[in-house]
């Protein structure tokens, strides 16, 4: 009796489960049908044409040729990509790149303009067009393109960095700095942005902040891999702050981490002289003169630092 009662109680639950399973199966079938229909609809609305496939193949081959620095082959392949599918924005953009490298700037900019006509919401193409116009000195056009890129992608670090460069080149360092800091908000270790921040602070007469930016830039490298120019710029920032001992220290470090140029050696000479180290200053001036014997600055600085050197006993060293 108990087993029969239990069996009767389980029957409604089993039936309910079967009903739920049937409903789920029907839903899955319906969803699959809708998804299949949707994919067919998408394919009909966005067909991948044979010409586009061909164009992208040429683009890839052209990019590979660019990486090999084979500009002739890259131009040929990317030109074929454009002809294979004139509506392919990427093909026009890449073709414009190789034309720019070949020095055909006007043709290059036309290709970028065509690429934007084909895809006006591609932030990368807008940024590239802006950069090429900036390099061509066409700053209003560059600003127009980069602002469109920011409208498309407000979080693009590339776009904010480019607008900062354009504004700097336009003689607006303070707004440029705000844009570069916006870039660093989205990409805090972006080396180009840290470098530009240091340059802008130097332009604005704030060497202390420039120095902080340079030190942050140096921190993005492994110890011993920092570029020589970072130490040179740090030395200039220390000198601007009248911290001549620190300036001499980092300029000597710059001398050790790359081939010394006459210009660098003259900076070392001046820093060591200001730091009260005439012997080190004279040595740097001699090295500068050896590298550039016809440079009057080297000879004049050597004579000045040699005159300041003490000699055994009394008097000064004469040259």
Which CATH number covers residue 235? 1.25.40.10
304 close to 272: Cβ distance less than 8 angstroms: no
Pick the last residue of a domain from 101, 119, 137: 119
Question: Do 264 and 274 lie in a common domain?
Answer: yes
Phi and psi, residue 87, nearest 5°: -90, 0
- Please count the structural domains in the chain: 3
pLDDT higher than threshold 60 for residue 233: yes
Question: Do 94 and 140 lie in a common domain?
Answer: no
pLDDT higher than threshold 80 for residue 168: yes
For residue 37, being part of any structural domain is answered with no
Place of tokens 């942050």: 216
Question: Rounded to an integer, what distance in angstroms lies between the CA atom of residue 163 and that of residue 153?
Answer: 13
Question: Rounded to an integer, what distance in angstroms lies between the CA atom of residue 28 and that of residue 72?
Answer: 55
- Nearest Cα neighbor of 267 from 310, 224, 301, 218 is 301
265 close to 255: Cβ distance less than 8 angstroms: yes
- Nearest Cα neighbor of 190 from 217, 221, 163 is 217
Pick the last residue of a domain from 153, 174, 203: 203
For residue 6, being part of any structural domain is answered with no
What interhelical angle do 244-256 and 262-274 show, nearest 10? 150
- Nearest Cα neighbor of 183 from 199, 169, 195, 201 is 195
Lowest mean pLDDT among 23-27, 73-77, 120-124, 282-286: 23-27
For residue 3, being part of any structural domain is answered with no
Lowest mean pLDDT among 34-43, 117-126, 200-209, 259-268: 34-43
For residue 151, being part of any structural domain is answered with yes
Using DSSP's 3-state secondary structure scheme, residue 310 falls into: strand
Question: Do 99 and 124 lie in a common domain?
Answer: no
134 close to 142: Cβ distance less than 8 angstroms: yes
Per-residue model confidence (pLDDT) at position 309: 73
Question: Do 106 and 136 lie in a common domain?
Answer: no
pLDDT digits (tens, 9 = 90+) for 9-59: 343 444 444 554 444 444 434 333 333 334 333 334 445 688 889 999 989
For residue 16, being part of any structural domain is answered with no
With a CB cutoff of 8 Å and minimum separation 6, the contacts of 278 are 272, 305, 308, 309, 310
Per-residue model confidence (pLDDT) at position 183: 98
Question: Do 94 and 168 lie in a common domain?
Answer: no
Task: Give the C-alpha distances (Å, rounded to integers) separating 26 from 19, 32, 78.
Answer: 11, 10, 51
Torsion angle of alpha carbons 56, 60, 61, 67, nearest 10°? 150
For residue 212, being part of any structural domain is answered with no
Lowest mean pLDDT among 62-76, 170-184, 205-219: 62-76
Higher pLDDT, 18 or 221: 221
Average pLDDT over the chain, rounded to an integer: 85
Q: What is the distance of C-alpha 218 from the center of its chain?
A: 16
Question: Do 225 and 287 lie in a common domain?
Answer: yes
User: What is the average pLDDT across 109-117?
Assistant: 96
Question: Do 114 and 125 lie in a common domain?
Answer: no
Q: pTM of the predicted model, to two decimals?
A: 0.77
306 close to 314: Cβ distance less than 8 angstroms: no
pLDDT digits (tens, 9 = 90+) for 256-278: 998 999 999 999 999 999 999 99
pLDDT higher than threshold 50 for residue 192: yes
- Which DSSP category does 176 fall into? H
Question: Rounded to an integer, what distance in angstroms lies between the CA atom of residue 302 and that of residue 306?
Answer: 6
The helix or strand, by DSSP H or E, that contains position 88, with its residue range, turns out to be none
pLDDT higher than threshold 90 for residue 126: yes
For residue 26, being part of any structural domain is answered with no
Question: Do 225 and 304 lie in a common domain?
Answer: yes
The helix or strand, by DSSP H or E, that contains position 137, with its residue range, turns out to be none
Pick the last residue of a domain from 203, 236, 254: 203
Question: Do 225 and 265 lie in a common domain?
Answer: yes
pLDDT higher than threshold 70 for residue 147: yes
Question: Rounded to an integer, what distance in angstroms lies between the CA atom of residue 52 and that of residue 43?
Answer: 14
Q: What range does the domain containing 250 cover?
A: 221-309
Using DSSP's 3-state secondary structure scheme, residue 236 falls into: helix
Let me know the angle formed at the C-alpha of 185 by 213 and 205, rounded to the nearest 5 degrees.
35
Higher pLDDT, 11 or 180: 180
Higher pLDDT, 316 or 121: 121
Question: Do 237 and 279 lie in a common domain?
Answer: yes
Question: Do 124 and 62 lie in a common domain?
Answer: no
For residue 74, being part of any structural domain is answered with yes
Question: Do 66 and 94 lie in a common domain?
Answer: yes
């Amino acid at each position: 009796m108990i087993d029969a009662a239990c069996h009767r109680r389980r029957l409604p639950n089993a039936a309910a489960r079967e009903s739920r399973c049937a409903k789920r199966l029907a839903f899955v079938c319906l969803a699959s049908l809708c998804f299949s229909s949707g994919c067919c609809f998408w394919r009909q609305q966005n067909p991948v044409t044979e010409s586009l496939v061909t164009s992208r193949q040429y683009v890839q081959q052209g990019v590979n040729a660019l990486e090999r620095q084979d500009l002739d082959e890259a131009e040929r392949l990317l030109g074929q990509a454009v002809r294979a599918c004139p509506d392919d924005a990427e093909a026009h953009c890449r073709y414009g790149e190789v034309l720019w490298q070949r020095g055909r700037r006007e043709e290059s900019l036309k290709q970028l303009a065509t690429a934007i006509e084909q895809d006006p919401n591609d932030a990368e193409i807008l940024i590239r067009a802006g950069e090429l116009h900036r390099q061509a000195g066409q700053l209003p056009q560059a600003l127009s393109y980069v602002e469109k890129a920011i409208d498309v992608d407000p979080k693009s670090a590339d776009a904010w960095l480019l607008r900062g460069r354009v504004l700097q080149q336009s003689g607006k360092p303070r707004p440029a700095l705000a844009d570069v800091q916006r870039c660093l908000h989205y990409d805090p270790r972006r080396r180009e942005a840290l470098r530009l921040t240091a340059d802008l602070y130097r332009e604005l007469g704030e060497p202390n902040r420039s120095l902080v930016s340079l030190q942050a830039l140096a921190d993005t490298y492994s110890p011993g891999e920092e570029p020589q120019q970072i130490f040179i710029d740090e030395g200039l920032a220390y000198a601007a702050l009248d911290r001549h001992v620190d300036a001499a220290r980092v300029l000597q470090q710059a001398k050790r981490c790359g081939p010394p140029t006459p210009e660098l050696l003259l900076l070392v000479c001046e820093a060591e002289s200001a730091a009260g180290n005439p012997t080190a200053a004279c040595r740097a001036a001699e090295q500068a003169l050896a590298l550039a014997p016809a440079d009057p600055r080297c000879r004049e600085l050597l004579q000045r630092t040699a005159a300041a050197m003490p000699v055994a006993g009394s008097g000064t060293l004469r040259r």
